[in-house]
Amino acid sequence: MSWPDEPVLVRAPATSANLGPGFDSLGLALSLHDEVEVAVTDGGLSIEVDGEGAETADRGDRHLIVRVLRRTFDVLDGLAAAGPGHAPARPEGIRLRCRNRIPHGRGLGSSSAAIVAGILAARALHPSGDLLDDEAALGLATEIEGHPDNVAPCLAGGLTIAWTTPAGPRLVRLEPQVTRVVAYVPEQRLATERARGLLPETVPHGDAAANAGRAALLIAALTGDLGEAVLMDATEDRLHQGYRAAAMPRSAELVAGLRAAGVPAVISGAGPTVLAFTTASQVDSMVPEVGNGWHEHPLDVASRGARVVAGGAQVRR
């Protein structure tokens, strides 16, 4: 078997994880996409980046997607070597082209989109790509990312619940009834590692119990017909947003202001983007000052996750 002559194009959605009480477990896929094109060449490494993160084109072998591609190729080589009828295959060169629309370092899953796109591209290109099923792809993406709450909705679309077991990460995909949100993206970035470092080792038992109930209510509110009013209670959080507020005071203030105006709002991912479960026109009428220094992105919940849209023999989505 040989490498395909044509490049593979993968389209991966932005995601919003944590979702108020759903820390490290709940995630939404959003209608803002990165496109990643990968081709196998006769030699060398070529990287082109358009849009967000254009400066990463100079990272060469350190570029996240390049590292993911090679990691996935290695995994597939190992799977091929262990099975009959398959043989390891190493590409001579790689050409990578990225068209990035997902803001970097803002809590909208840009790294998860890059990781998932790299895995799907490698799977579609590799002669033994069929050996890596969707469950294994989730496991590999989680291993690279560190936790599954962003990679799960990026892979599956819609609303996802992700958790880990001794056998690896798992996900359940749900169809949300709430289909429109607004993301308020600030200029400044915030590293996920910094935001996570602000979390305490332990929390009060009452806060943990409250979040468990709110997370269950949020799933019911997003997937049922309970009405938008329930979302205010369902998006209440005591586990992570308050502890991280010092690193993103403007985001914390915006969340408080939106909620005071009756808009269910949360920090998206590790922040500093704010996600509001409403429409842009409703927010503008209730909280007109929200536009100062914020980029407003009215978005739909993306029903489809990342997928190969052109090229490759291993198209699964």
- The predicted-structure confidence for 221-265, as pLDDT tens digits, reads as follows 999 888 677 999 999 999 999 999 999 999 999 999 999 988 999
* Mean pLDDT over each residue of the chain, to the nearest integer: 91
Note whether residue 2 is domain-resident: no
Total tally of structural domains belonging to the chain: 2
pLDDT of residue 89: 77
Same domain, 85 and 206: no
Note whether residue 246 is domain-resident: yes
- 51-81 residue pLDDT tens: 998 988 889 999 999 999 999 999 999 998 8
Same domain, 120 and 232: no
The answer to whether 107 is annotated as binding is yes
pLDDT of residue 1: 60
Same domain, 85 and 191: no
Long-range contacts of 173-178 (CB under 8 A, 24+ apart): 174/219, 174/222, 174/223, 175/223, 175/303, 176/28, 176/222, 176/223, 176/301, 177/222, 177/223, 177/224, 177/225, 178/221, 178/222, 178/228, 178/231, 178/277, 178/301
The answer to whether 213 is annotated as binding is no
Do the strands 159-165 and 265-267 form a parallel or antiparallel pair, or are they unpaired?
A: unpaired
Note whether residue 113 is domain-resident: yes
The answer to whether 112 is annotated as binding is yes
Q: What is the band of 285 on the pLDDT scale with cuts at 50, 70, 90? A: low
pLDDT of residue 194: 77
pLDDT of residue 288: 64
pLDDT of residue 81: 86
The answer to whether 19 is annotated as binding is no
Residue 314 has pLDDT above 50, yes or no: no
The answer to whether 293 is annotated as binding is no
Q: What is the band of 316 on the pLDDT scale with cuts at 50, 70, 90? A: very low
Same domain, 98 and 128: yes
Same domain, 24 and 167: yes
pLDDT average, residue stretch 185-213: 88
Same domain, 90 and 189: no
Same domain, 230 and 154: no
Note whether residue 317 is domain-resident: no
Cis bond before residue 169 (omega within 30° of 0): no
The answer to whether 108 is annotated as binding is yes
Note whether residue 55 is domain-resident: yes
- Of residues 313 and 68, more confidently modeled: 68
Same domain, 50 and 166: yes
Note whether residue 316 is domain-resident: no
The answer to whether 105 is annotated as binding is yes
The answer to whether 104 is annotated as binding is yes
**Any residues with CB less than 8 A from the CB of 202 and at least 6 apart, and which?**
none
Domain carrying residue 55: 8-174+302-308
Same domain, 194 and 286: yes
Same domain, 211 and 295: yes
The answer to whether 111 is annotated as binding is yes
The answer to whether 305 is annotated as binding is no
Note whether residue 313 is domain-resident: no
